[in-house]
Each structure stands twice: as structure tokens, then as C-alpha cells.
Structure 1
Amino acid sequence: MPLYTQIRSYIEDHIRTGRWREGHRLPSETHLARQFEVSRITVKNAMSKLVEEGIIYRIQGRGTFVAMNEGGEPLRYKKGASSAGMIAFLIPRLDNRFTMNLLRGIERTLSEANIRILYLSTHDDDQREEQLLQEAIDTGVKGIIIYPVDGETYNETILRLTMDRFPIVVIDRYLKGIDTNCVCSDHRGGAYQATEHLLISGHRHIVFITSLFKGTTSLEERLEGYKQALAEYQVPFRRQYVVESTDSMSFRHLLLEHPEVTAAFAANEGIGQKVIEAAESIGRQIPNNLSVVFFDDYERSEAARIPPTCVLQQEEEIGRQAAQLLLTLIENPQQPRRSLRVPTQLMVRHSTGRALLERRSTKLPSN
């Protein structure tokens, strides 16, 4: 058997017998060249023909993957018994105001189109996310809305669905290197507003506190908005003022080591509340000794002991736009991909105030 044909048969046999299922990453060209003792050109030619036939596909910088299921049927045409009028909504959890409002916006829009929602919780676990995506496809849903797991990697099923033009919309953050349909808040603009509010109030030593953000574009954009505001107000960016932690002890140490800090911008509501607690535990009063602003709001925050200054996201609007975009994709999967940005709003309450030094400068001299 010619070497070219041997390589082709080897790949096809692995797919046909189920050893390599849809989405499986094939061995590299270098590996196959060593295995069959041929040149990489021979391997490349064999694989190029399989790509042309739609049996495998390539992703630049990531490898070559199986494009069809064991029956030789393209993924996008799989049909399930319960496929009529249903889409899947994957989200890390449904335990806060933000995610509840997202679901409300999606549900209201889809109910008008007589489409039901299959709700699936990933618990911020990338393996579970991959599994649930495949289960949704096997069920035969018409489309998918997904709030991806945080991190710099994304699962290959999202890649495959996107490349195969399956109706899928990503919310909250986009996926780097992939032209995906997505609906997000204006994270950069919201962070700029929050930081500018502190700068206008006289603060010059402002820390940015976040969870690990590498690869999570929503958090990366919030950091960029923070840096942009500092630059436009000619305040130097200090790397030591960026803290990637959700540990209250880290906040306490930061404030003790940097007594000059007068304000904090937290990347989300949970971190913001921990910052307030940490500050008060070492005698820093809010907002007299430390101003705090954060992304997102929480239920009945206006009635809190210290009503927070925060960046409001339009969660229902994000959900509504994501559902509307998905409906158009179900009708026409080949349309150009779109990235939609929903504006944010700064809500100023009582957790921020004038910088302490500026407050002193405006005091009347004592007799």
C-alpha cells in the first residue's frame, strides 16, 4: 500500500472505530512522519485531502481535529428527539443578581419565540463545561448561549461549533483568536468611569483588586480601563497597586504596606465587599480613610450600612441581545459574526468620597 494511502487509512480507521471521536486532536505531522518513516510533506498531503473532504479540520497554532462523528455526519446536522424549540444556556452558576438577570433577559425574549431553555450549570469547571456542551448537542438543541469558564484557555467544542457555523453566542467575554458571536458589557468603559470618578475626587493612589485575570477578557478589559484613566489624568501606573487575589488577608497587607493608598477599585462585587471588611478591620473608615468602588451591584445594596458606589451592568439587556442574536443565527447560521457591547452606568453612593489630603486642604484654618 502506498505510504500516502497508509496514513489516510490509519486516520480513517481510528475515526471509524471510534478511537478518535469528533473533536479529538490528531497526532502532529512530525509524530506521524516518524511513525510511518516518511517526510512531513507526505503526511501534509495526506491530511490536506482529508481536510478538503471535511473529515478533519485544522486550527492554526492548535493542531488538527476530527470534524465528523462516528457515523460520518457533520456535527451541525445532528438531530435529537427533543430538539424542537429548545436552546441550551450554560453558565457557571445562578446564585447572584447578575446571572439571575441574564437568565431573565434570555427567557423573556425566547418565550416570545416559543423556545424553551435547557439550563446547565458548569460550576466554573472547564471539563464539566465541555461535557455539558456535548450533551446539549446530543440532545439536539437549536442553539447555545454560553457564559464561558474563566481562564486563558477555552474548550475545543466551542471552537468546533464556531467553525462549523452552529448557532452559538458567547456572553460576558469574548474568546481570543476566535471570531465568535458575543454580547458583552463595555468592561473597559465601565472601569474607566469608576477610576475617573476616584481621580476627580482627588485620589492619586488607587489600587486595582481582581481575581486571577489572565485570559479572562472581561477582567483584562477592566484593568485596561483603569490604566487608561490613570494615563489620561497623568497619574503613573504602579504594578504593585494591582492585586490578583480574593483573600481578605492580602487586602489587609496591601493597605498596611501602602498607607498612602486612599482608594480601591475592585473588579467585582464580592471582592469589593471583602476590601471594605479588610479596611475596617485595620481601622480604615469607608469612605473617610478609603474610598471603594466596584463592578456590579447586589440586592438591596442601597439599604446597606455603606451603600456602595458601583458600576452597573445591564444584565437583562445583555441577555435580551444574546437571545435575539441567537434567534437570527438559527434562521441564518452563515451570517457575518457580530460582537455587541452594552453600555454600563456608574452609580455613585456612599462608599466613595473626596481624597483625605484634598479634604484637609479645604479645611478652614483654626483660630
Structure 2
Amino acid sequence: MSKGTNRQHLYRETAAKVERIIQTRMLRPHDPVPSEAELAAMFGISRMTAKLALDLLARQGRVYRLKRRGTFLAETESARLNEDGTEIPDSAADASAGGARGDARRRIAFVLPVLDSYTSRLVSALETAARAFDSELMIRLSKDAADEEASLKQLASEVDGILLFARGRETMSPAALELRESGFPIVLIDRLFTGAAMDFVVHDSFQGMYDMVKRFIEAGHREIGFVTNPIHGVSSIDERYKGYLKALIDHEIPVQSQYILAVERVNSQTHYWEGNPEMEGFLKANRKLTAVACGDDYLAAAVYYTAVRMNKSVPEDLSLSGFSDSELAQMLPVPLTTVAQPADELARRAVQTLLDRMHGKGGKKPVTVKIKTKIIERMSLAVHTGIPRLRPEPEASGRRKLS
């Protein structure tokens, strides 16, 4: 197949070619239809494209598939004929996108690894957006990367498009790339993999962190630290790191490498209050820090509890910010200033981008849509005056001294 073929319709074009094979060979009901391997060899396509083409014909009721036996011509062609016996055009048949379901609503799957406060909000927003676009949303939780791969391959034969939230992955999903290559509509949400020819809808992590550090600077802070999870090629983490650096540089504040900590223990949503020697060592080694911007709310919570154990007060001694505005941000003893990621707008644009792909819109090139973030300012950020805070001595002495 030539490189000029519109990949957005590749598997549908393959399905149309299978139809012509059925007619040319004058196949009868229950006769075998060319297999995925045969179609791949015939048309120079991938096995995944061939699979999607046969799955599409199966959903339209044209063929039926038996595990480990193959694909066969269906008994009736009613799914392809009008009441007067004339053939339904390919475009009309495709519009039903699942003929056996007997409706015109698009089915969208959302694949994600875990339900937490953020992803739960996202699920709710996606459900609302899907309804607004007259589509049906189904949810699939993936236990790990292998389960995610299996889920993507299975869902491709059950739904019309897939939204993927690939949190925790450091590399692009091979199954997602294969689906995209075959023309199946798939959009990644809130995780961008550099160099991958995919459609992405993400929050603008760079601008969010830039604005947060700028807010610290406006509040008088100049000794500003940054705590992050290891980057390892994850774009959202990398973009927040770059936003931190750019904000300092734009405001002529020297970047100090010792003020940056990449915590090797990956984001923990349940043990952020436990002792962290790495973080404690970071704060002890950088006593001049008056503010710390963190790559997510859980890291900020870990910094908060570490500071408390070191007898540092937030925000009097150390202003603090997180990222994502999870429920935790409001539950800390000192409510956390953070960067909010609006779920509603992300969901609306993600569903819209996916539907555009389903309808063949948007051209061949992959698109990246960035959603604006906003700062939610709470009690963990204080104005820095540069005046040392008076701290009481232990009760036995009764004296006060400068901290």
C-alpha cells in the first residue's frame, strides 16, 4: 500500500477490499474469508490493520469470527441491504459503527491505570463530554503495562475509538502506536511522549509551573527550590522542570543545582507522611530556601511533613506549592497552594479530538492540544519579607531568639 494512503481510513479501506474479494470469489455463507495474515501479505499492511478491518465487518454483521478457526461469511447480508434490496453504501454502513448494536451512537473506551481523586474527576468529565457528543463511554482499568497492551488490542474490536491515560509509563505503548498506524482512532490524555506520532490532549505543565514560580517571586521569594519525581522521558515532569528553570531565568534569579531534588522513590499516594531521609537531607543542606515548588501534590505533602519534623513552619519558614489540585491539597493541616488542571476542558477537547479522527477530520498529521492550568492559592504560600522570624526557645529557657 502506498505511503500516500490516508492512514485515517486504512482499515476501513481494507474492509472495502475484503468486500470486493467476497464478491469476486462469489463466496457463500460460512465460506472462509481471507485471514489477517493473508490480508497483510496481499495488501502490504500490518496484522493489526487487517484485524481491525475484519472486526469492522464483523460488527456490521457481514462476517463472523471464531477463535483459532478463522473468519467466515455471515449467513445473511441484511446488515448491508436496504428494505428494497439495494446495497447500503459503505459510508452509511460505517456510520453505524457496530451494526450489531443497531444504533448510531459512537462507543468510546477510556483506558486508565487507577481511580484516584484526579482520574475520578476525569472520568466524570469524560462521561459528560461523551453524552454531549452523543457518544457512549466505557471504562477499562489496566493493572499494569502488559494489561494495558492487551486491553487496547481487545477494545479495538469492541469500540469505535479509545482514550488512553498512560500514567506510570515511561515509554509509548507499542499497541497504541500500532493502532494509530493502522488508522484506528486513539488519543492520549495528559501524558505526552516526545517523538511519538500520536494525538495528545494534555495540560500545559510548562506554563503551569512557570506561573507558580512566578507567583513565588512576586511574593518576595528568591531562594526557591524544586522537588520532582525522576523525569525518565516523561514529558509532564520534564515540562514542569523546564517551567521552573525558565521562570528563574526570566526574572534574573540564578539557577542553583543544589536547590533541585529528583526524589528517587516514585510518587506515593499513601505514604507521603512517612520519614524521607533524602528529602530531609535536601532541606538541611539548603537552609536558605524560603519556598519549594513541587511536581505534584503528593511530593508537596511529603515536603510538608518533612519540614514539620524538622521544626520548620509552613508557610512562615517555608512556602510550599504542589501540582494538580488533588483532594489531598485541601486536606493537609495547612491547605496547599497548587496548580489546578481543569478536567472539564481536558475531557471536552479529548472527546472532540477523538471524534474528529473517527470522522476523518484533522488531516494526517498528529495533533497536540494543550489545556491551560490555573493557580489555586491557599495557606501554604506567604509573602517573604526577608526579616528573620522570631521563634521561641524551648519552654525551659523561657527566652526567644532569632531563627
> Which interval holds the TM-score relative to the shorter structure?
0.7 to 0.9
2:381 maps to amino acid: T
1:261 aligns with 2:321: no
Count how many residue pairs are aligned between Structure 1 and Structure 2.
301
Match of 2:47 in 1: 68
Match of 1:193 in 2: 211
Match of 1:42 in 2: none
8 Å contact 2:321–2:380 — kept in the other structure? yes
Deviation, 1:17, is 10
Structure 1 runs (4+) deviating above 6 angstroms are 20-23
Deviation, 1:77, is 5.4
1:129 aligns with 2:148: yes
Candidates 309, 314, 323, aligned match of 1:286: 314
In the TM superposition, what whole-angstrom CA distance separates every residue of 1:87-141 from its partner, at most 9, and x where no partner exists? Answer: 1101121111x21221122111212344222211224x22221111112123x21
Unaligned segments of structure 1, at least 5 residues: 1-15, 24-49, 56-66, 362-367
Candidates 82, 86, 95, aligned match of 2:116: 95
The higher radius of gyration belongs to 2
Cα pair distance change 1:107/1:206, threshold 3 Å: same
1:237 aligns with 2:237: no
Deviation, 1:162, is 1.6
Deviation, 1:53, is 3.9
Deviation, 1:189, is 0.4
2:197 maps to amino acid: D
Deviates more, 1:147-156 or 1:311-320: 147-156
8 Å contact 1:166–1:333 — kept in the other structure? no
Mapping for residues 240-319 of structure 1, pairs under 5 Å: 240-245=258-263, 246=265, 248-299=276-327, 301-302=329-330, 304-319=332-347
Q: Which has the higher contact order (CA 8 A, sep 6+)?
A: 1
Deviation, 1:334, is 6.5
In the TM superposition, what whole-angstrom CA distance separates every residue of 1:22-71 from its partner, at most 9, and x where no partner exists? Answer: 99xxxxxxxxxxxxxxxxxxxxxxxxxx7x9424xxxxxxxxxxx115xx
8 Å contact 2:111–2:165 — kept in the other structure? yes
2:44 maps to amino acid: G
Deviation, 1:352, is 1.1
In the TM superposition, what whole-angstrom CA distance separates every residue of 1:260-303 from its partner, at most 9, and x where no partner exists? Answer: 22211111111111111111111010001111011121338557
Unaligned segments of structure 2, at least 5 residues: 1-33, 60-96, 266-271, 390-403
1:78 aligns with 2:55: yes
8 Å contact 1:167–1:333 — kept in the other structure? no
Candidates 346, 349, 352, aligned match of 2:378: 349
Q: What is the rounded CA distance, in whole Å, between the counterparts of 2:251 and 2:345 in structure 1?
A: 32
Q: What is the rounded CA distance, in whole Å, between the counterparts of 2:44 and 2:362 in structure 1?
A: 17
Q: What is the rounded CA distance, in whole Å, between the counterparts of 1:92 and 1:311 in structure 2?
A: 22
Cα pair distance change 1:272/1:187, threshold 3 Å: same
Candidates 115, 120, 126, aligned match of 2:140: 120
Cα pair distance change 1:159/1:114, threshold 3 Å: same
Identity of aligned residues (%): 25
Cα RMSD (Å) of the superposition? Answer: 2.9
Cα pair distance change 1:94/1:215, threshold 3 Å: same
In the superposition, the TM-score normalised over structure 1's length comes to 0.74
Mapping for residues 149-228 of structure 1, pairs under 5 Å: 149-228=167-246
Q: What is the rounded CA distance, in whole Å, between the counterparts of 2:220 and 2:286 in structure 1?
A: 17
Tell me the SS of whatever aligns to 1:292.
strand
Cα pair distance change 1:323/1:95, threshold 3 Å: same
Tell me the SS of whatever aligns to 1:73.
helix
Cα pair distance change 1:152/1:304, threshold 3 Å: closer
Q: What is the rounded CA distance, in whole Å, between the counterparts of 2:329 and 2:224 in structure 1?
A: 23
Match of 1:321 in 2: 349
In the superposition, the TM-score normalised over structure 2's length comes to 0.68
8 Å contact 2:340–2:375 — kept in the other structure? yes
Q: What is the rounded CA distance, in whole Å, between the counterparts of 1:21 and 1:116 in structure 2?
A: 34
Deviates more, 1:336-345 or 1:73-82: 73-82
